[in-house]
Amino acid sequence: MKKAVVTLGVAIALTGCSSSSLSKANGSGAVALPTFVEGRNEFDKNFPCQSISIDFIVLGSTDSKVESASFYVKPGEDYALNTDIAPGKYEVVKYRCRAKSGWVINDKPYIEEPVSFKLSIAENEIKIPSFAFFGKETRKYGQSYFNHGLESFVDSSKKIKIKQSLVNQAESLGWYIDL
pLDDT tens, residue by residue, 79-120: 999 998 999 999 999 999 888 887 777 788 888 999 999 999
Distance in angstroms (rounded) separating the CA atoms of residues 104 and 108: 5
Domain of residue 136 covers 2-178
Distance in angstroms (rounded) separating the CA atoms of residues 119 and 149: 17
For residue 64, pLDDT over 70 is answered with yes
119, 67 contact by CB (below 8 A):
no
129, 119 contact by CB (below 8 A):
yes
For residue 134, pLDDT over 60 is answered with yes
If one counts the domains in the chain, the total is 1
For residue 17, pLDDT over 50 is answered with no
* One-letter amino acid for residue 100 of the chain: K
Instruction: State whether the Cα torsion 145-50-136-54 is positive or negative.
Output: negative
